[in-house]
Chain A
């Protein structure tokens, strides 16, 4: 029984230590950022890897999510005779929740794992040490550009997700089901508020971007320099990022609704 609590205590202490280390990494990145901004093409390169290469999965998923929302929404709303409200339903669901959240989950799986694996392998093969010995800071050269790329990429991906999802919903609602096109858009515009819905969704995706990227970078940087260590770190990136995104989403949503 005692060992059970001991284990919990030890696990908790380990988690808190790691949280502290991740926070420290965050501030180290910030302090090295001016150095890496001077060579912004490094960040551009990472935007390509995290953003451009995630575009396909984001667009395809968004289109399907939007179509499903359209279908499900229609069948529910139709019971209450308000099927024109489908535009509102699709748009609000995407802009406020699904856009930022699903994008962040996909980002963790697609770009986050790639970041962790890459940095973990660079560490395992002593590439980071080699860089340090060449008097080049790995944080400035490798970590910071990936961090900023993640922060820039996530809100853009989330916006694309929401927009494509709305188009998906439109395709189902208007040409396929036959909801009036004018009603679809006008109801949407009347009920989606720029500062309350769109800006809040944007803020969410920004926060998720910071969280997912820091987690991926930290797991890679912290991975034991072995094949097993890197593969475990990659798994942890997905698990931790997903939980962080869902948890943060709850916190942010309740905060935003209360304001």
Chain B
């Protein structure tokens, strides 16, 4: 039996040069679960995904993936860990010089020695799963935003990863595409037996399908729990977020001088 806990973040702190972004983050992600990380723009959600993927190193604390501490791995070790991960980038990040087919085939070609016939079967299967088998000849520029993200999703799961990370999978999508992606996340997660980590600030969709939700604010986990628990939560921050109130603990204004003094009065 594999360990149930696949990703765990302990006392993580991280900051870019002069700005502290995370102060003390603790999160646990279990196998087979769909977990959402929510928080206002710029609170460091994408950064958490990058820390899990080992693209940046924490200032203190650690991220553990599948029993290994990410920032202590060398290049080889990190690449080994990354092969267990799939990541869907905010805008898909499809390779613009490759066709849809080649995009999905890319990780397979890079990491396996399968022959062309097997690769073709795999690619078409993945594209079929996201409903875009018919589009395999198109170039990324010929796709709509929702389609591009589905192709990117097919590419992210091409090697059947244990962990799938989604960076704002719903941002900028129409309601129909949003529903499609939502369903896909759930089905892929259950079909692959994977763990999904979703970074988002889309409340309704997330509350409808996530198993567990973390709220980040001010560099710490401000609230956590299952959707039903959080809905009952009396924390002002959570209420503000769920019912999208403009001002509350998360201020509308970026910190600034007194308005009067900025106007020079």
Contacts and interface: CB of A to CB of B under 8 A. Distances in A.
Interface of A: 121-122, 125-127, 129-137, 141
A125 B55 contact: no
B107 interface: yes
B99 to A, nearest CB: 15
A75 B173 CA distance: 69
29 contacts: A121-B96, A122-B96, A125-B91, A125-B93, A125-B96, A126-B89, A126-B90, A126-B91, A126-B93, A127-B93, A127-B94, A127-B96, A129-B89, A129-B93, A130-B87, A130-B93, A130-B95, A131-B95, A132-B82, A133-B55, A133-B82, A133-B87, A134-B82, A134-B107, A134-B110, A135-B79, A135-B80, A135-B82, A136-B107
Interface of B: 50, 53, 55, 78-80, 82-83, 85, 87, 89-91, 93-96, 106-107, 110-111, 152
Contacts of B93: 125-127, 129-130
Nearest to A133: B87
Contacts of A132: 53, 55, 82
Nearest to B53: A133
Given A125-B96, A126-B93, A134-B110, 13 more contacts: A121-B96, A122-B95, A122-B96, A125-B93, A127-B94, A130-B93, A130-B95, A130-B152, A135-B78, A135-B82, A136-B106, A136-B110, A141-B110
Contacts of A141: 110
A190 B68 CA distance: 70
A44 B90 CA distance: 32
Contacts of A127: 93-96
Contacts of B91: 125-126
For the complex of A and B, list the 6 residue pairs with the smallest distance between their C-beta atoms, beginning with the closest.
A130-B93, A126-B93, A135-B82, A135-B79, A133-B87, A126-B89
B116 to A, nearest CB: 15
Nearest to A141: B110
A129 B82 contact: no
Contacts, number: 48
B250 to A, nearest CB: 26
Nearest to A49: B97
Contacts of A135: 78-80, 82-83, 110-111
A129 B95 contact: no
A133 B55 CA distance: 8
Given A121-B96, A135-B79, A129 B110 contact: no
Contacts of A130: 87, 89, 93, 95, 152
A129 B96 contact: no
B83 A129 contact: no
A223 to B, nearest CB: 16
Nearest to A136: B110
Contacts of B80: 135
B86 to A, nearest CB: 8
A125 B152 CA distance: 13
Contacts of A126: 89-91, 93
Contacts of A125: 91, 93, 96
A61 B209 CA distance: 63
A127 B80 CA distance: 20
Contacts of B55: 129, 132-133
Contacts of A137: 79
Nearest to B106: A134
A133 B96 contact: no
Contacts of A131: 95
B163 to A, nearest CB: 11
B110 A133 contact: no
Nearest to A130: B93
A126 B90 CA distance: 9
A14 to B, nearest CB: 15
Nearest to B83: A135
A26 B106 CA distance: 26
A139 B123 CA distance: 25
A54 to B, nearest CB: 18
B39 to A, nearest CB: 20
Nearest to B110: A136
Nearest to A126: B93
A122 B140 CA distance: 13
Contacts of B53: 132-133
Contacts of A133: 53, 55, 82, 85, 87
Contacts of B83: 135
